[in-house]
Amino acid sequence: MAIRNSNFFLLILLLSSSINAFNLPGLAPNEYCRFPLPGLKCKTQVEVYVNRLNSFESVLSYQYSYFPFCTVNDEPSPIENLGQVLIGERIQPSPYKFHFLKNYNCRYVCAKKFTSTDANQQKMLKRLMKGIILNYQQHWILDNMPITLCYKNTENLEFCSRSFPIGCYVSKSGQTKKSCSIRDGKNDTFYIFNHLDFEITYHNELGETRRSTFGEDSSRIISAKIQVNSLNSNRCDRTTGPVMFQSTSKDIEIPFTYSVKFIKINEIHWASRWDYIFKSLPQTRIQWFSILNSLVVVLFLSGTVAIILLRTLYKDNPRYSRIVGTGSAKEQFGWKLIDGDVFRPPQKGILLSTLVGNGIQITMTFLITLVFAALDFLSPDKPGALLTLFGGANWKKIALTTAITCPSLIFVILFVLNLVLWLNVSSATIPCTTFLALLALWFCISTPLVFIGAYLGFKRSVYKNPVPINQIPRQVPEQPFYTKPLLSILASGILSFGCIFIQLFFILNSIWVHQYYHYFGFLLVVYIILIITCSETTILLCYFHLCTE
């Protein structure tokens, strides 16, 4: 008994102890040292990785090697996960490497020459010109975080972008892009940003409230910022003019150089190093407005449904109670006219069961993703149970249609889009091995789970209808034009879209301009409001359609 009591008190002490922790899934801090430490994995070299290039003016993204930049061919590229491959990320090593805590005023990387006699070089030069005109942006990575370009916006606030342009084009009318830092440039002239100034901030272990096996000699990188310049010199001579050329230029040489400066900041910890990037995103005040807008729509629908229930059903019950003993069907009215046809099996029961099953899986997948920030599968037993209610017995057929119908449609669309990207040599092209992996996930994981769920659904007891079904189906009279399916779909879609259009704008804008979206708390609330809105909209549409009969 004494041993049990001691174990109990020990458990209480362990549970009552305070713990300070943070969690970044799949990401661990890297320790950097000026000099190698024997027996410890402390990095002394800082490596820069390059990623795809994309533009706000084009849907096509390209690999770093698509343009005439300095590359390395003898180093393996990092392995991307499935999600990175699907969104078109192509991470590669770069020749930009430097020692930790060692400042460099100028480092020469390589030079790219374009001669009029070499057709391949002229082709690469045309690519570079087109990329500058379309304002293609580079995405570089250092210590598992993006290298940012920070500048003052129109409100005199610092904005940090996780991409930077490859160059600047001054049009014939003297117009330039917003990201162009060239001032008083010549018309119809291209400027290439061939010199980069790295500013890397770090903190050592003295700034952390934790113990470290590396001691005071180790540090962690907090941020990596960059400034772009155009220098026509391989020695970083800032007195020389920029590298510029026109569309008719043929013989060009572009030197690529960079400088590095390390800055120590112990006030910022590694766990909060992303804060300065997130502060550049839209403010949460707009997010609160989106939730308020969604709540107004929900309150309007909820009030309408409540009025219907109070004024219609509440008044119908006493009236129906007075004529229960008459036995005259002609005296029935309102919802009692169709109570014997509500649970009649529809003509397309298998199609309805398939769409309902896929809809429940997608809805719950979104919900679980938003709550736990991870995908999870839903046991798809709803189509089998629904078809059993309709009187169906071929559970294998409904399971097959559920597993094939919607995924095959999405797969065909993905294949056609991928074919277009492949013809345009885009980095977003999905490799054949990734397609095989998707097919394996589809047929080896998703399809068996659908069959298991359908089998369990058919094993369930059949739902009992609360009212009997009439032997003779009720004849539906001719309906007015405003009850047609197309108008009903548009009306219900407008109400649902009104709840999510602000959040949808931020999501699509983040995808298009390649920014981060991290308002998942707001998105979860709006998503729950959307589900409520869809449910209440369905109730209202059914009620108004029945009223017209």
Q: Give me the residue spans of the domains in the chain.
A: 103-280, 282-343+473-549, 351-464
Task: Measure the CA angle with vertex 460, ends 459 and 466; round to 5°.
Answer: 140
For residue 477, pLDDT beyond 60? yes
pLDDT at 48: 94
Q: What is the dihedral of CA 295, 301, 303, 304, to 10 degrees?
A: 170
For residue 340, pLDDT beyond 60? no
Q: List the helix and strand counts (H, then E) for the chain.
A: 13, 16
For residue 374, pLDDT beyond 50? no
Return the closest-CA partner of residue 446 out of 481, 399, 490.
399
In this structure, are residues 305 and 539 in contact, taking their beta carbons and an 8 Å threshold? yes
pLDDT at 13: 39
Those residues with Cβ within 8 angstroms of residue 267's Cβ, 6 or more apart along the chain or in another chain: 203, 207
pLDDT at 338: 62
Long-range Cβ contact pairs of 406-410 (< 8 A, separation 24 or more): 406/354, 406/355, 406/358, 407/442, 407/446
3-state secondary structure of 472: coil
In this structure, are residues 202 and 221 in contact, taking their beta carbons and an 8 Å threshold? yes
123-152 pLDDT, tens digit per residue, is: 999 999 999 999 999 999 999 889 999 887
271-322 pLDDT, tens digit per residue, is: 888 888 877 765 656 767 777 777 777 787 778 777 777 766 666 666 555 5
* Token couple for 390: 């309709």
Name, of 103-117, 180-194, 284-298, 299-313, the range with top average pLDDT: 103-117
In this structure, are residues 71 and 96 in contact, taking their beta carbons and an 8 Å threshold? no
**For residue 401, what are the CA distances in angstroms to 21, 61, 148, 409?**
47, 36, 48, 12
**What value does the mean pLDDT take over residues 74-90?**
81
Beta-bridged to residue 167, according to DSSP, are 192
Extract the runs of DSSP E, i.e. beta strands, from 289-383. none
For residue 466, pLDDT beyond 70? no
pLDDT at 506: 80
- H or E element that contains 384: helix 382-389
Percentage of the chain surpassing pLDDT 90? 19
Q: Which stretch of 26-35, 68-77, 187-196, 453-462 has the lowest confidence by average pLDDT? A: 453-462
Mean residue pLDDT of the chain comes to: 76
Work out the pLDDT band at 377, boundaries 50, 70, 90.
very low
Work out the pLDDT band at 219, boundaries 50, 70, 90.
confident
